[in-house]
A = this chain, B = another copy of it.
Amino acid sequence: MAVHVLAVLAYKEGDRVTSTLLAGSINTNPVMVRRLLLDLQRAKLVETCKGAGSGSRLSRSPGRINLAEVFRAVEDSESFATPNRKPNAACPVGNCIRETLNRIFLSAQNALERDLEKTTLATLLDMVKTSGACGQKKVS
């Protein structure tokens, strides 16, 4: 979903896009988009201006943004390896396994991110564009 926003931004390269327009594009409401944009701003992936006629745009060219960065920008909100289960006393494995698993998952997540690094927003957009016959309609 974060990727989707960035893809739209990349699509209209350079232009400032309002959160309302983005929201319509990914079929949600402006507030959700703005919340997401805050993460992306923190990660220095987008620049947002307030005021009339403003909006957001990529802060770098799509070729210089890879998906691992995007993943990291939002990983807290969309994390996956969060066991979020309360540790249980009185179990010899239960006590320490959490910490050990964290280390293992961290390594696995690194592997995942290294793979995501291979794809930039620009190549993603190319893939989407050339991915054959999707019912293409003009955007509003």
Contact = CB atoms under 8 A, between A and B. Distances in A.
Interface of A: 1, 3-4, 7-8, 11, 25-28, 67, 80-81, 83, 85-86, 88-97, 99-101, 103-104, 107-112, 114-116, 119, 124-125, 127-129, 131, 134-140
Contacts of A108: 112, 115-116
A16 to B, nearest CB: 17
Q: Indicate how many identical chains form the complex.
A: 2
Nearest to A96: B134
A27 B128 contact: no
- SS class, residues of chain A in contact with chain B: helix
Contact of A26 (B91, B110, B112, B137): B91
A35 to B, nearest CB: 15
A108 B90 CA distance: 37
Given A27-B86, A97-B128, 12 more contacts: A1-B85, A3-B101, A8-B93, A25-B94, A89-B137, A91-B137, A92-B139, A95-B134, A96-B129, A96-B134, A100-B127, A110-B115
